[in-house]
Structure 1
Amino acid sequence: MVAPTSEKAVLILGGCGFVGFHIVNHFVKDQFFSSVAVVSRTAAKSTNRVDGATYHEGDLKDQESIRRVFDQIKPCLIINAACPSPVTGTLGEYNLVTVKGTQCLLKLAQESKDVQALIYISSCTLAKGAEHLELTEDYPLANTDPKSSAYARTKALAEISVLKANKPFPLDKTSPDASWAGYLLTSALRFPIVYGTHDPVGIPACLNALKKGQTNVQLGDGKNLWSFCSAHNACVATSILARRLLGLIDVPEMSHDTKVDGEAFNIHDGESHLFWGYARTVWRLAGHKPNNERLISIPAGLVLALASFLEWIFWIFSLGTKRPYQLGKQQVEYACFTHTYSIEKAKKRLGFNPVQTFEKSLNEAVTWSMENGGWGKKSK
C-alpha cells in the first residue's frame, strides 16, 4: 500500500535515449501523472525531446546533480532507463553507470520523503548463457557466468540491487503527509530487442548493411528465433507497472498472485520472429527487392572465434576503452542463437496483454529512419 498524494510527478533517468524517449512521450500523455521530468547528460542538446516534459542536466555518476533534481521535482516515481550502449559500451562505463549509478540512485530514492516507487528498465539478455529458450524470470542471471558479456553481467548486478532495495510502506502509515524516507517499492522490466521510431542502433544497422550490399550474408544458420518488443508494448507495460506500484489501478482479476514490488517481468510482443527475418523485413520495408541472391552463411563457430579475437585486439590497443562495433562477441551471439522469453508472469500479475502489430510498427520505424535518420527516401 502507498501513501496517497495529490501530485504524482515522474522522474525519468535516460529519457533522451531510444526507449527512454518513448517512455517520456507515453507518460506525458498519461492522465494519472501530474508532470514528467527527464534527467540526462544530453538534456540541453538532445533531439529526443518531448513537448510537455521538463529537461534537467544530470549524470548518474554525479550524485549531487541527481539530488538537486530530486529536491526540485519531488517525484513519487523514478524510472531508470539510463545505460551505456549495449553495442559500444565498455566494462568501465557499465560499472560506473549501470552498477554504481543505479546504486547511487537507489540511495537517493530511499532517503527521499517523496519517492515511493522505482522502476528499473532492464534487459531479457541478462540471463545466463548464449542461448535463451523461453526463459522465465527465475532463470540464473549472467552475473554468475564469467563468459557472459559485460553488458549482461552489469545489467544483472544492477537489477539485483534494485530488487533487493524493495521495502514496502507500512500499512499503518497511510496519512497524506506521511514520509516515504526509508521505504521504497522497486521492480524491473526486462525488454529484449525493442523496435520503434528514433532507434539509433538496430534499424540503422540493418539499413547500413543494405547500403553496403550485404543483404546476402548471414551469421549462423539463420534458424534462431528472437522475442521482439515494440516501443508501444514497452511503454504500456511500464505504465501498468507504475500504476500498480502506486496503487492507482485495481489488481487484475485473473491474477492469483498479485505481488509486483520486488519482482522482475519479461516484456515483449508475445510472438517470436527469426532474427534474420527481422533484418530482411527491414530491408523489404526499405524498398529492397532481392534478385536471386546467393545466400552466404558464415558458421557460428567461425564467426564467434573471429569476434573473440577482435574483442581481444580492441581491448589491447584501446586499453579497454573501445569494442568492435559490428563483430563484437555479444552481437554475434545475438545473431546466431535463439533468445526467447516467457511473459506469462507479466500477463498474470500485471494484466499485460501485448498488441501484435509487428510489421505495421516496424514499417513506421523504418520510415522514420529513412526520413529522419539520414538514410534517404525509400527505394522504389
Structure 2
Amino acid sequence: MATLEGKSLGHVLVTGGSGFLGNHIVALLASRKACSKLSVLDLKQPLKPVSGVDYHMGDFTDYDAILALLQKLKPDAVVHTASPVHNIPSKKVLYTVNVEGSKNLIRASQEAKVKAFVFTSSASVIHDLRSNLIMADETYPLIMGKQQPVYYTATKAMAEQHVLASNRTAAHPKFLTAAIRPSAMFGEGDVQLLPGAIGAYYRGQTKVQLGPNDNLFDFTEITNVAHAHHLCLAALLATREREDGGGAMPLDHEKVDGEAFFITNDCPVYFWDFMRSVWATAGDKTDINKVWWLSTDLGLFIATLMEWIFWILRLGTPKLTRQQVQYSTIARYFNIEKAKTRLGYEPICGMDEGIRRGVKDALYRGVVPGQPMELKGKKWE
C-alpha cells in the first residue's frame, strides 16, 4: 500500500482529461499537488481548464501521433480514462477507441519508457446483465464474446485484458500496469446517470418503479473513483521505485501491478432508494406508499414491444429498453476488500453528499431533460 503524503508522482498524463472522470482525476491531483507536472490528452478542451495543467489536443488511435507526443512529453505515468459514451451505436468506433486505441497507448508508453499505466475499466466486465452479482470480487471471470450483451463493456474487457497482460513483459519488464473497475459513477459533471435519473422526475415518473426494489446496487461517487486512481498510480510508482533501488518485489497479497480493482462507495443501496434520493433532492415529494411497481417480466414485455415499434418506425431508442429493465431490477454489488488492503482505499465522499452535489450541479448546468430553464445557472442554498 502506497502513502500519498509528500510523494510526487512525477509527470502524469491523463487521457480523456477533459471528460467526466478524467477532469476529476486532473482536478484532484492538481489540488493535492501530487505531480511535478500534469498533462492532458483529449479531443476537446475542457469547459473549465484546471490551472497549471498542460492540455494537448490529439487522437490516440493514431499510433505515430501518440508516440511522438509521449516521446516529447516524457511522462512518468499515464492514466487512461478516455472512452466513447457507452450507448453510442457504432461498434466500429467503440472497438477502434477502446481496444485499438488502448493498445496504441500501451505500445507507445512502453516505447517512451513510461513507468506506470493505470487503465479505467468497468465493474460491468464481469456482468452478463442476467445474473445477480452479490459481493462479487476480482476472482470472477471477464464476460466477453456472445455472453456479453453490451458491446461497450466487451470492448472494455478486451482493453483491460491487454493492459494487464502488458505488465512486466519480457521486452519491457519494468513497465507496470493496473486497472480500476468503478461501478455506476455519478457526481458533479455527470452527463449520463444523474441527468437521466432527474429527467424521470420532470417527466412525472416517480410514482412507478420496476420490480419490488429488493436488489442492492453499487453506485460510486466520482471523487472516490478519482481518489482510487491516485492511490493506484502511487502504488505502482512506489513499486517501481522500490525495485529500482534494489528492494524486493511485492508479495502476492500486496501486489498492485498486473491487477484489477473494483471501486465503489462501499455502501450498496436498493436501486430505487438511490433513485428516490436523487428525485427528492431535486424536489420530488411522492409518497412512497402511493408508488406502484411493475413486475420485471411485465417491464421486459413492455420494453421489448417498445423497442420493436421504435425499430419498425425508425424512431430511435425508446425511453424504456430491456437493458434498462434488467439493470434496474438486478442485484449488483461488489467486495472491495482488495482495493482496501492493497491500495488503502476508503471512500472520501459519502452517498448522500455525493447525490446532493451531483443533483445541484446537473440542474445548475442545465443538462437535465425537461428541467425548468430558470434552474439553469441558479445557485442553490
Pick aligned residue for 2:324 from 331, 337, 342: 331
Aligned counterparts of 2:149 and 2:94: Cα–Cα separation in 1: 14
Distance 2:326 2:257 in 1: 32
Match of 1:290 in 2: 286
> In 2 relative to 1, CA 91–55 (structure 1 residues): closer, same or farther, beyond 3 Å?
same
1:48 Cα offset (Å): 4.9
Structure 1 pair 269/51, CA: closer, same or farther in 2 (3 Å)? Answer: same
1:41 to 43, 64, 86: 43
Match for residue 22 of structure 2 among 20, 23, 30: 20
1:123 aligns with 2:122: yes
Sort the Cα spacing of 1:262 and 1:165 in 2 relative to 1 into closer, same or farther, 3 A: same
Paired position in structure 2 for 1:212: 203
The 3 A distance-change label for structure 1 pair 302 and 379 is: farther
2:123 is aligned with what amino acid?
C
TM-score by length of 1: 0.84
Say if 2:193 is the partner of 1:193: no
> How far apart are 1:182 and its partner, in Å?
6.7
The change in CA–CA distance for 1:353 and 1:292 in structure 2 (over 3 A counts) is closer
Amino acid at match of 1:57: M
Distance in 2 of aligned mates of 1:281 and 1:7: 37
1:185-219 deviations in Å (ceiling 9; x for gaps): 10000000112111111111122111111111222
Cα distance change of structure 1 residues 147 and 10 upon mapping to structure 2, 3 Å threshold: closer
Structure 1, 288-297 or 135-144: larger mean CA deviation:
288-297
The structural deviation recorded for 1:287 is: 1.6
- For structure 2, the 5+ residue unaligned runs are 1-6
Q: Which moved more, 1:56-65 or 1:131-140?
A: 56-65
Is the 8 Å Cα contact of residues 41 and 55 (structure 2) preserved in structure 1? Answer: yes
Aligned-pair CA distance for 1:32: 3.3
Higher helix content, 1 or 2? 2
Q: What TM-score, normalized to structure 2?
A: 0.84
Q: Which residue of 2 aligns with 1:275?
A: 271
**CA-to-partner distance for each residue in 1:70-117, whole Å, 9 max, x for gaps?**
13321111111111112345422221111111111111112112x111
Taking structure 1 as reference, are residues 256 and 371 closer, same or farther at Cα in structure 2, changes over 3 Å only? same
- Give the match for residue 154 of structure 2: 153
Deviation at 1:308, TM superposition (A): 5.1
Contact 1:87/1:325 (CA < 8 Å) preserved in 2? no
> Where do 4+ consecutive residues of structure 1 move more than 6 Å?
248-251, 312-318
- Partner of 1:56, secondary structure, is strand
1:352 aligns with 2:351: no
CA contact (8 A) 2:180 2:261 kept: yes
- Asked if 2 retains the 8 angstrom alpha-carbon contact of 1:129 and 1:145, the reply is no
What is the Cα deviation at residue 184 of structure 1?
A: 1.5
Q: Secondary structure at the match of 2:177?
A: strand
Report the count of equivalent residues.
357
Query: Which position in structure 2 is the counterpart of 1:76?
Result: 76
Gaps of 5+ in 1: 170-179
Q: 1:147 to 1:77 in 2, by over 3 A?
A: closer
What per-residue deviation string (whole Å, max 9, x for no partner) do you get for residues 281-301 of structure 1? 011111221257732322222
* Structure 2 counterpart of 1:340, from 333, 338, 352: 333
How many Å apart are 1:65 and its aligned residue? 3.1
Q: Is the partner of 1:31 in helix, strand or coil?
A: coil
Cα 1:302/1:190, change in 2 over 3 Å: same
- Pair 1:48–1:140, CA change in 2 (3 A): farther
Identity %: 32
Which piece of structure 1 moves more, 186-195 or 130-139?
Answer: 130-139
CA distance in 1, matches of 2:178, 2:318: 31
User: Contact conserved, 1:256 with 1:348, CA < 8 A, in 2?
Assistant: no
In 1: Cα distance, 2:9 partner to 2:140 partner: 38
Change (3 A) 1:97 1:307: farther
**Is this contact kept in 2: 1:88–1:324, CA < 8 A?**
no
